[in-house]
Amino acid sequence: MNNKWILTGLLLVTPLLAQASCESVKAQISQKIINNGVPESGFTLEIVPNDQADDQTDGLVVGHCENDSQKIIYRRNSSENDTRVPANAGTSQDSPTP
């Protein structure tokens, strides 16, 4: 009986842990961007499912999480709609291969 409750509890908590993982990756990327001189109010980061990442034409994919099932999209907040992002803002997994 106790094992059933433990299993049920784990199944309920697992999605929350996975989301926290994406939030921590997003926070790390945000900090890197800020450290590269972009003000916190100058950009937004959004977590989107993989199948919606291609629809984000006004943003750049700068990271991924949840076993690559979610993408982190960078958007610069400016009237010029400039989407440049510092080269080292993403995760090492997103860096182009030499």
Query: DSSP string covering 16-62, please?
Result: HHHHHHHHHHHHHHHHHHHHTT--GGGEEEEEEEHHHHTT-TTSEEE
Element at 96 (helix H, strand E): none
Tell me: pLDDT of 95 over 80: no
Average pLDDT across the chain, whole number: 76
Average pLDDT over residues 21-47: 92
92 exposed, middle or buried (CB, 10 Å; 0-12, 13-18, 19+)? exposed
Q: Which helix (H) or strand (E) holds 56?
A: none
Q: Which residues form the domain of 52?
A: 2-94
Q: What is the pLDDT of residue 90?
A: 62
* Residue 93 vs residue 43, higher pLDDT: 43
Per the structure, the count of domains in the chain is 1
The answer to whether the predicted template modeling score (pTM) of the entire model surpasses 0.85 is no
